[in-house]
Amino acid sequence: MKLSTAMVQRCLSQYDAQAIPSNHPSVPELSALFGDHTFFLDGKGLNIVEQTDADGSTAAQVVNVASWTDEGRTSLAPHEPEPTEVIVMLEPDRRN
């Protein structure tokens, strides 16, 4: 899923990663491989977020789509999407 700037910031406040800017030269290739998403890099590799429920929930799960192939983290190998245990809230809690 493609995230707004506010949603990216909310994700990063809950999840230790770096967002790849949408104007980065690698984004067209990543989108061709994985679909139209906002991409994040962390210690495990390349990730996307996907909503956890089809009911429009504001929770999303981090999904790893490519892993680092070396300790220097200079190369990624794509693989089948692997859901992680990381859940982020995309919208603020409005129950207050």
* 8 Å CB contact between 50 and 44: no
Say if residue 24 is exposed, middle or buried (CB neighbours under 10 Å; 0-12, 13-18, 19+). Answer: exposed
The pTM (predicted TM-score) of the whole model is: 0.89
Q: Residue 65 pLDDT > 60, yes or no?
A: yes
Q: Residue 4 pLDDT > 90, yes or no?
A: yes
94 confidence band (pLDDT: 50, 70, 90): low
State the average pLDDT over residues 85-89.
Answer: 94
| φ, ψ at 44 (rounded to 5°) | -95, -20
pLDDT at 96: 47
